[in-house]
Chains A and B, each alone.
Chain A
């Protein structure tokens, strides 16, 4: 019988809530079935459940523990993750607590050799990074799931067996009150890097694991430093290795450093040794302040992915699907994009959409993971050189950066970014797409645009579902535009109209009106009167026309909704 720990986890900054285990109907002899069962209440599983709820789909979340993440784990949310959380309706809480940042500094031999400036424009609502401990990320998502009334989070429920059959998956769940079976039309494995589901199904990941262990340690200390990413290459106290420092809310600092070759995780976490290294890092920062340890762990760098994320009725997302290096904050942020890409398709599949629609999730996200592995591999080869040759090149570049500028960009590992699904089977009308002189193309996420003070384009697109963004050039609709918008009314999508101003007649033609008095949205989207973009529920463009017709929109919608091309 599964006996989860009922004592709140120790933490010096986070007050753990122990959620009660509630005995499900199956343990009273009532058969138990769910449309979607999600294994794992981490950020990916919870966000997926929340998005499913917004699309009107109930889900059961099975979590073996009774409380949120042990330790701060994933601490940086990217701008794209924040945009997704905004769509999920939870961004304000994250912003209230999190620490936004845009820059980093890298040091070598006591000299600042690189200043990382992450791309940011006035059209972006969110800064490139937001630091927030995973405990809070999960807590806010749990609370939003509970408020939705459409997510059944079952704490203390551990999956121990699985049957994957053509019509659905049956999960054997072990609980403090005994075992039961839960049958689901679809089961989602969001159970993390050591995925039980992946192991039960005997699935192998492809790619490589890198040598070298890294320690992450969270300490409470009064360092008085701004929110930016600090990196120290090859410090005297840890030759050949590197140290990263991030600020977290609640006066917590994340220290991250590579261990000398051959040192084990047990040796590294031995209190006296860890304590000595933390002192050395603080001395290196010029802040030899008193500190208290909250949590520490050891990780390794991998670039591994499953070759397919949809296996019968079981779907993989987040670390259960892929293991990516943390350089460039790729772990949770990739998982957030997985959840967003999966939610709308799964909601449609649960209502009987063709099976091919879910296959496109795998197509897009496996490709994204492979590209991330390729990119992250380059960062990883710099951060943890696999051979003598790569170590020498790393040392050569570091030495050159003390006097030369040309190699400095090699010190910046690319940061997690939204993926462009350029060859997604859900895209259509490629010639019309190519005719645009700018704007986000097919497969790209929508570009945000600042419309006014505290007013951005994406703020207006928070209804769950497909959006059709159409453009008008004046406050009155011409007959063509009026006919077009009326003809699109029967389609299950939100008609968003962007116009310099709105007369009463024009306003009545759309579900959402976006006033664009300076034409900034139209310019960013290379749009004229009559231009339209068809946008998937995860905010990626799937078709666009300089001059749109309702039949074309209807056809593109059918393709994007999985009804084959």
Chain B
């Protein structure tokens, strides 16, 4: 095993504790399952936009977009 190491530095601070992250994980997974399959991308775009508004900070929203764009 010769694992590669990532060259990207983390951009996102940890704000939720593990229980909070798990709760969000379940909530979003269940909401995706509740949406019709062809509407999931629309749901996720709406969710991201709503969260961006709640974050209320241009720079942080840009960092979130960059973090989510990596390693697709």
Contact = CB atoms under 8 A, between A and B. Distances in A.
A, B: real partners: yes
B1 A392 contact: no
Interface in B1-58: 1-6, 8-16, 18, 21-22, 25-26, 28-34, 37, 40
A387 B33 CA distance: 7
A402 B70 contact: yes
B67 interface: yes
A403 B70 contact: yes
B71 A389 contact: no
B21 A409 contact: yes
Contacts of A208: none
B14 A111 contact: no
B39 to A, nearest CB: 12
A487 to B, nearest CB: 46
B3 A110 contact: yes
A406 B71 contact: no
Contacts of A393: 25, 28-29, 32
A109 B71 contact: yes
Interface residues of A, number: 26
A340 to B, nearest CB: 29
A107 interface: yes
A406 B37 CA distance: 28
Contact of A399 (B2, B26, B72): B72
B29 A387 contact: yes
B4 A404 contact: no
Interface in A63-118: 107, 109-112
B22 A410 contact: yes
Contacts of B13: 406
Which interface residue of A107, A378, A404 has the most chain B CB atoms within 10 A?
Answer: A404
B3 A389 contact: no
A417 to B, nearest CB: 15
A285 B1 contact: yes
Contacts of B6: 111, 402-403
B29 A405 contact: no
Contact of B5 (A111, A388, A406): A111
A389 B33 contact: yes
B44 to A, nearest CB: 9
A392 B32 contact: yes
A406 B33 CA distance: 24
Contacts of A409: 18, 21
Contacts of A399: 70-72
Interface string A205-241: 0000000000000000000000000000000000000
A392 B29 contact: yes
A402 B12 CA distance: 12
A402 B71 contact: yes
B29 A112 contact: no
A50 to B, nearest CB: 38
The 7 A-B pairs with the shortest beta carbon distances in the complex, nearest first, are: A389-B32, A389-B33, A406-B14, A389-B29, A403-B8, A402-B71, A112-B3
16 contacts: A110-B4, A111-B5, A112-B3, A381-B26, A389-B29, A393-B29, A393-B32, A399-B70, A400-B71, A402-B70, A403-B10, A403-B67, A403-B71, A404-B67, A406-B13, A409-B21
Given A378-B22, A388-B40, A403-B11, 8 more contacts: A107-B1, A388-B37, A389-B29, A393-B29, A403-B71, A405-B14, A406-B13, A406-B15
